[in-house]
């Protein structure tokens, strides 16, 4: 008998893709055929292929909420691309009719959600943020179940399961020996405190500029290492440090994030749901700089559970500069304690969502 196919749809940023991969890895173990549908403009093509899953890439772009001439032209093209993508997705689903379509959010999920409604394919919505976007709100109306990050999210047929985290992340060991190996891989000294800065998969000029100034400010520090992941876009001039004291390492993107988590004493990051879930599941002290234009300020809401237990601090984007970033990092290094029990719900989320998907599949 041919294995049943489960299709994951969505993307645009790593924050949508990584939780989907966490669940897909669980389902692959059941013998199901797993594939992805995403947008050509998103980061999903590279991330999905690196994890050895098939992906179908369709045209698509997000809608801009503006009435400027440039935005109107952009949105017209977005609608046209959606029509083309729907036709391609429809043909794909007629050929390889999936047992379930899993909608993880982002503009890349739109064609699959529409196609599933038309063809009557069971849907499961995975909502990892504290605010649901337009695509997930639409899909949830027709879905068998909506897997929710927390109780603050309101979607039809909702079940709170947490944010799924990949098995390889949950297996990161934060021990002295593991930290020493991770530091060696990153080419930094394990005897120093390590500050990891992650600007998000697409990058952040605000964070990158602050780090650039921070390196200048801490140039004489011989007790710290900074590992800076600047992102694939929104880059800034790299700090020019001729210091023989401060250790500074820069990467656009790093596949082996396990080393970052094993080495970090403090992590500075945007507060996307995936980042918060991974950092929280490992109990790493952190500083979150929420995306300032996120709908309903959902990144701040994502980070609040870790702030409430004292594991994290929030630095508003508008206040992020070299001095303020230095102060909040110093506070975290001095007082925040690792907590392996933080966000324990996320540790089982991938398994729970996989069960929901299997119970929803078309017989």
Based on the domain organization, do 222 and 265 belong to the same domain? yes
Q: Would you place residue 3 in the very low, low, confident or very high pLDDT band (cuts 50, 70, 90)? A: low
Based on the domain organization, do 194 and 126 belong to the same domain? no
Whether 2 shows a pLDDT value over 60: the answer reads: no
Tokens read off for 243: 């210091």
Based on the domain organization, do 67 and 40 belong to the same domain? yes
Q: Are 229 and 202 in contact (CB under 8 A)?
A: no
What is the Cα 23 distance to its own chain's centre? 14
pLDDT at 45: 81
How far apart are the C-alpha atoms of 193 and 346, rounded to whole Å? 27
Based on the domain organization, do 230 and 333 belong to the same domain? yes
Give the model confidence (pLDDT) of 44-75 as tens digits. 888 898 899 999 988 877 777 777 888 788 77
| Range(s) of the domain holding residue 282 | 169-342
Q: Are 199 and 270 in contact (CB under 8 A)?
A: yes
Whether 255 shows a pLDDT value over 80: the answer reads: no
Q: What is the mean pLDDT of residues 24-43?
A: 90
Q: Would you place residue 324 in the very low, low, confident or very high pLDDT band (cuts 50, 70, 90)? A: very high
How far apart are the C-alpha atoms of 117 and 188, rounded to whole Å? 52
Give the model confidence (pLDDT) of 258-287 as tens digits. 999 999 999 999 998 899 999 999 999 999
Sheet holding 312-314, edge to edge: 247-251, 224-229, 193-198, 266-269, 286-288, 312-314
Residue 133's CB: how many other CB atoms inside 10 A? 20
Q: What is the mean pLDDT of residues 30-42?
A: 88
Residue 357's CB: how many other CB atoms inside 10 A? 28
Instruction: Please give the model's pTM, rounded to 2 decimal places.
Output: 0.85
Whether 319 shows a pLDDT value over 80: the answer reads: yes
Based on the domain organization, do 139 and 230 belong to the same domain? no
Whether 153 shows a pLDDT value over 90: the answer reads: no
Based on the domain organization, do 204 and 147 belong to the same domain? no
Q: What is the mean pLDDT of residues 20-37?
A: 94
The mean-pLDDT minimum among 32-46, 137-151, 208-222 falls in 32-46
Give the model confidence (pLDDT) of 176-234 as tens digits. 999 999 999 999 999 999 999 998 767 788 999 999 999 999 999 999 999 999 876 66
Q: Which of 12-16, 152-156, 319-323 has the highest mean pLDDT?
A: 319-323
Q: Which helix (H) or strand (E) holds 286?
A: strand 286-288
Return all residues near 157 (Cβ < 8 A) that are at least 6 apart. 140, 143, 144, 145, 146
Based on the domain organization, do 124 and 239 belong to the same domain? no
Based on the domain organization, do 356 and 242 belong to the same domain? no
How far apart are the C-alpha atoms of 209 and 199, rounded to whole Å? 11
Based on the domain organization, do 27 and 122 belong to the same domain? yes
pLDDT at 1: 42
Whether 28 shows a pLDDT value over 90: the answer reads: yes
| 268 against 16, higher pLDDT | 268
Average pLDDT, the chain: 88
Based on the domain organization, do 191 and 234 belong to the same domain? yes
> Which CATH number fits the domain that encloses residue 80?
3.40.50.2000
Based on the domain organization, do 241 and 120 belong to the same domain? no
The per-type count for the chain, helices as H runs and strands as E runs, is: 13, 13
Based on the domain organization, do 181 and 261 belong to the same domain? yes
How far apart are the C-alpha atoms of 28 and 48, rounded to whole Å? 13
Q: What is the mean pLDDT of residues 88-102?
A: 94
Whether 130 shows a pLDDT value over 90: the answer reads: no
Number of domains the chain contains: 2
Q: Which helix (H) or strand (E) holds 124?
A: strand 123-127
Tokens read off for 33: 């055929």
Share of the chain above pLDDT 70, in %: 92
């Amino acid at each position: 008998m041919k294995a049943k196919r489960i299709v994951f749809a969505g993307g645009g940023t790593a924050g949508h893709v990584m939780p989907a991969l966490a669940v897909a890895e669980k389902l692959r173990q059941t013998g199901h055929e797993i594939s992805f549908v995403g947008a050509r403009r998103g980061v999903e093509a590279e991330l999905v292929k690196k994890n050895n899953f098939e992906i179908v890439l369709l045209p698509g772009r997000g809608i801009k909420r503006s009435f400027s001439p440039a935005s109107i032209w952009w949105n017209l093209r977005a609608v046209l691309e959606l029509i083309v993508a729907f036709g391609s997705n429809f043909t794909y689903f007629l050929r390889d009719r999936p047992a379930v379509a899993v909608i993880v959010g982002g503009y890349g999920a739109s064609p699959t959600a529409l196609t599933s409604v038309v063809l009557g394919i069971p849907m499961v919505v995975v909502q990892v943020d504290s605010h649901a976007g337009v695509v997930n709100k639409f899909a949830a109306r027709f879905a068998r179940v909506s897997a929710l990050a927390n109780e603050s999210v309101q979607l039809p047929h909702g079940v709170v399961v947490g944010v799924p985290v990949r098995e390889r992340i949950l297996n990161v060991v934060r021990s002295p020996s593991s930290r020493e190996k991770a530091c060696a891989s990153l080419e930094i000294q394990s005897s120093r405190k390590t500050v990891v800065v992650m600007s998000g998969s697409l990058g952040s000029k605000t964070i990158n500029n602050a780090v650039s100034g921070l390196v200048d400010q801490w140039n004489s520090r011989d007790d710290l290492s900074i590992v800076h992941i600047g992102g694939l876009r929104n880059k800034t001039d790299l700090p020019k440090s001729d210091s023989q004291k401060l250790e500074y390492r820069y990467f656009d993107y790093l596949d082996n994030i396990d080393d970052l988590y094993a080495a970090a004493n403090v992590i500075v990051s945007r507060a996307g749901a995936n980042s918060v879930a991974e950092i929280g599941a490992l109990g790493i002290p952190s500083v979150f700089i929420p995306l300032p234009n996120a709908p309903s300020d959902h990144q701040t809401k994502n980070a609040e559970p870790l702030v409430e237990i004292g594991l994290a601090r929030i630095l508003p984007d508008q206040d992020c500069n070299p001095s303020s970033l230095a102060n909040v990092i110093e506070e975290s290094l001095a007082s925040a304690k690792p907590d392996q029990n933080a966000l324990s719900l996320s540790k089982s989320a991938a398994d729970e969502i996989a069960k929901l998907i299997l119970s929803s599949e078309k017989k």
